[in-house]
Amino acid sequence: MTSTEPCFIGVDLGTSGCRAVAIDRERSVIAQVRTALPQPVRIGAGGIEQDPRLWWDALVRILRELTDRVKPFTPEALCVDGTSSTLLLCDRDGTPLGPALMYNDVQSRAEAALIDSAVPPQSPARGASSSLAKLLHLKRRLRPAPTSLALHQADWILGRLSGRFGVSDWNNCLKLGYDPQVERWPEWLLDLGIQPVGLPEVNAPGTILGPLSAAAAEATGLP
């Protein structure tokens, strides 16, 4: 028997694992599940990389288990967070073009030097671990097509869940150069030669993006 009582799910993608928690409308925990992730691959010159498909596999595992545990509550909403400034390039349909560079990857030193010479000194996009430095590094390494997108870890997972890729929020995009005070991408970004990679549409954190896609609902067991 299905309850009319709603529950709300939060997912956290970390470095070593993925976890999910469900709460009721009183914010009491109903159930929580976690699973381990393989350690990121370390390469020379400060590279720390991971296959994004590992995140999706882990997410499906924990959501299927959580869905069983929250019965008879009805899942009503889901929110995802991930490690800040973990970035990948993908096609418009979400297919990764290569590995994601993790939040603590610092192999983009040459790109960081270029950024430092072009952006305001207070910008969070400075530094070899920034999303922007990673974008420029991956662009040079993967030679993306004009339909490619730069997405953060949570952006890509939300794309897999909704079927809508190319969406992000202020928090994730700070280190990619987004200016939340004026709510737009700055003009100096174009001078850095990020084309042909597309930047995500940026929303306020917590913005409802839409329902789960049919494929994601089937994979996770969620409505």
Over 90: is that where the pLDDT of 13 sits? yes
Contact call for residues 98 and 158 (beta carbons, < 8 A): no
Three-class SS state of 222: coil
Q: Quick: pLDDT tens for 31-81.
A: 999 999 999 999 988 999 999 999 999 999 999 999 999 999 999 999 999
Q: Quick: pLDDT tens for 160-208.
A: 999 999 999 999 999 999 999 999 999 999 889 999 999 999 999 999 9
Q: Average pLDDT of 7-14? A: 96
pLDDT in the model for residue 62 = 97
As given in the structure block, the two tokens for residue 18 are 């993925």
pLDDT in the model for residue 8 = 97
Q: Average pLDDT of 27-33? A: 97
Instruction: Tell me the sheet residues that pair with 203.
Output: 169
pLDDT band, very low/low/confident/very high, at 1 (cuts 50, 70, 90): very low
pLDDT in the model for residue 128 = 96
pLDDT in the model for residue 15 = 87
Q: Count, in order, helices (H) and strands (E) of the chain.
A: 6, 11
Over 90: is that where the pLDDT of 4 sits? no
State the CB neighbour count (10 A cutoff) for residue 174.
19
Over 80: is that where the pLDDT of 3 sits? no
Say if residue 15 is exposed, middle or buried (CB neighbours under 10 Å; 0-12, 13-18, 19+). middle
Over 50: is that where the pLDDT of 146 sits? yes
Average of per-residue pLDDT values in the chain:
95
As given in the structure block, the two tokens for residue 143 are 């030679």
Q: Quick: pLDDT tens for 113-128.
A: 999 998 999 999 999 9
